[in-house]
Amino acid sequence: MSGEGFDVRIYCLHSDGTIEALIGADTSHFQGAVPNVGDTYAKWGLDDVYRFYSVQRRYFVDSVDNDHGWCVVVREVESAPQMETVVKEWSEETRFWRELDKQEQDERDKALREERTRFTRKKADNNPPGNVQRKSIKIKKPRTTRT
C-alpha cells in the first residue's frame, strides 16, 4: 500500500471469525502476482516449520487517504504429505543453487586474484636480489668538431 510501503496484506480468518495479520509486502515479494483464490500460501514460521494457508478471498481496498492495495484473506489448512514434500524439495533445491552460485563466485574470485597477482608481480630482471648494487653508468659529453 503506497502510504505504508506495501501493496498486499494477508490476513488469516480464524474459525471464531477473528482475523490476524500475517504479512504485509510489496507485490514483488510474491514475484509480481497477488495470491488468488484457490492458491496455497506456505509461510515459514518462527517454530521452524511451514504453515499452510488457502486463499479464500481477495479484495482491492481503495482508501480515501491513498493507502490502497490488496487484502488477501486466507484460512490455515492442515499440512498434507504433498505440501511437506513440495516445501522440502524447494528448500533442498534452494540450498543446491546457492552452493553452486558460491562455488562459481569462488572460482571467479580466484581467477581475479591470479590475474591481479600476474599483473602486479615484479619481474625478476628489474629487481636484483639482495644487496647487489647496480653499476653506475657515466654519461659522456658529445664530441664537438673543430672547424
For residue 95, how many other CB atoms are within 10 A of its CB? Answer: 10
Question: What backbone torsions phi and psi does residue 78 show, to the nearest 5 degrees?
Answer: -65, 140
Q: Is the Cβ–Cβ distance between 72 and 58 less than 8 Å?
A: yes
Beta bridge partners of 71: 9, 59
Beta bridge partners of 19: 13
How sure is the predictor about 147, in pLDDT bands with cuts at 50, 70 and 90? low
- The closest alpha carbon to 37, from 14, 20, 60, 54, belongs to 54
How sure is the predictor about 3, in pLDDT bands with cuts at 50, 70 and 90? very low
Around 83, how many Cα atoms within 13 Å sit in the side-chain half-sphere? 17
Percent of the chain at pLDDT above 90?
Answer: 46
Predicted TM-score (pTM) above 0.75 = no
User: Which sequence spans correspond to the domains of the chain?
Assistant: 8-78, 80-121
Q: What value does the mean pLDDT take over residues 26-55?
A: 89
Q: What value does the mean pLDDT take over residues 57-65?
A: 89
